[in-house]
Amino acid sequence: SGAKEDASSDQIKAVLLTDQTGIDDKSFNAAAWRGILAFYGDEGAGRGTLYENITAQSTDEYIPNLKNAAEGDWALIITTGFTWGDALNEVAAMYPDQNFIIVDVDYLTDRENLIQYIYEEEQGSYLVGVAAAMQAKKDGIENPKFGFIGGVPGATITKFEIGYFEGIKSIYPNAEFVDYYANDWGKPELAKAMAKDWYDSGVYCIFSAAGGTGGGTIAQAKEYRMAGKNVWAIGVDSDQYEDGLYGANGESAVLTSMIKKVENSTFDALTKTKDGTWKGGVVTQNLANEGVGYSKGNDH
């Protein structure tokens, strides 16, 4: 990125507001944070001065955290996830001179100080569905069952689920599906318990779009692959291949991941803030502009 050579990026300060899972969720928030680090080009050295992450322990803290940030000297306030939508709509109206962005929302009031980034997750999800189905075919499984675990229900997660199932159906038109919503982005134990039940009942592959919760699916898939069972997990947002590593040969229980480059949004917004090309509105990320895709780390 040009940020390393351009000293003016040092003058911009940005804060990332997240839910309680923070930037260690290994998926969605982690990707947003990567975009910030890429912009500053200092691998975390500026944390606490140029940029920061502030986590909210509950949704009750969303509005106070937004207001506190707006009272500070941040050039850009970044929120990730549709659960921030209502709070941001309220606070952005109160601070018209403060720039805000939100990822995964396109229905907030149109304001000059707000960019809403959305992703066509169904495109990348379709591809991982095809990958799962083709792997099942390769393994000679006659009637494979497939599972989907979501975090908090909403239009965004529905796009992941439907895209995945449509991709599978392109190979197995009569495939059997199960789905489950944990109603939480940070409870891997819920996904792990459900994944165990499903794998035990013959589910071949589970795709989780559930933030940190999805780590439970990967953990269970690892356990079962180590025990010799032919089951798979699919990662989300970031390439979760390494989270699935097991055994002496460094194999991974993560067949592929639906990549959602949330880092594109944070990098783009910071760049626009810096160079004065900021314009409120909705920005769409998809396969065409490489905002979504799938990982090819696993050579199965």
Answer with the residue of higher pLDDT: 208 or 7: 208
CA–CA distance, 46 with 106 (Å, rounded to integer): 31
CA–CA distance, 297 with 275 (Å, rounded to integer): 35
Check if the beta carbon of residue 80 is closer than 8 Å to that of residue 14: no
CA–CA distance, 116 with 120 (Å, rounded to integer): 13
CA–CA distance, 205 with 207 (Å, rounded to integer): 7
Sign of CA dihedral 260, 262, 267, 269: positive
Find the Cα–Cα–Cα–Cα dihedral 43, 44, 50, 52, rounded to 10°.
140
For tokens 């080009």, the residue is 41
- pLDDT (tens digit, 9 = 90+) per residue, 53-95? 999 999 999 999 999 999 999 999 999 999 999 999 999 999 9
Q: Would you give the DSSP letter of residue 110? A: P
Tokens of 5: 């050579």
CA 31 to centroid of chain Cα atoms: 7
* pLDDT over 70 (residue 9): no
Q: Could you tell me the CA-to-CA distances from 48 to 13, 14, 15, 54, 277 in Å, in that order?
A: 10, 10, 9, 10, 26
Q: What is the pTM of this model?
A: 0.85
3-state secondary structure of 34: helix
* pLDDT over 80 (residue 245): yes
pLDDT value at residue 300: 65
Tokens of 81: 């996830």
Local confidence band at 10 (pLDDT 50, 70, 90 cut-offs): low
* pLDDT over 80 (residue 227): yes
- pLDDT (tens digit, 9 = 90+) per residue, 101-143? 999 999 999 999 999 999 999 999 999 999 999 999 999 998 9
- Mean pLDDT, to the nearest integer, of 188-197? 98
pLDDT value at residue 6: 45
- Mean pLDDT, to the nearest integer, of 239-255? 93
CA–CA distance, 51 with 73 (Å, rounded to integer): 11
Return the amino acid letter for 263.
Answer: E
Return the amino acid letter for 76.
Answer: L
Answer with the residue of higher pLDDT: 9 or 291: 291
Local confidence band at 248 (pLDDT 50, 70, 90 cut-offs): confident
* pLDDT over 90 (residue 255): yes
Mean per-residue pLDDT of the chain = 94
Crossing angle (nearest 10°) for helices 155-169 and 121-138:
30
* pLDDT over 50 (residue 2): no
For tokens 């850009």, the residue is 76
pLDDT value at residue 5: 41
Answer with the residue of higher pLDDT: 89 or 21: 89
Q: Would you give the DSSP letter of residue 82? A: G
Tokens of 143: 């009637």
Check if the beta carbon of residue 124 is closer than 8 Å to that of residue 162: no
From 183, 180, 178, 223, select the one nearest 205 (Cα to Cα). Answer: 178
Q: Could you tell me the CA-to-CA distances from 54 to 61, 62, 82, 100 in Å, in that order?
A: 11, 10, 17, 15
CA–CA distance, 144 with 175 (Å, rounded to integer): 7
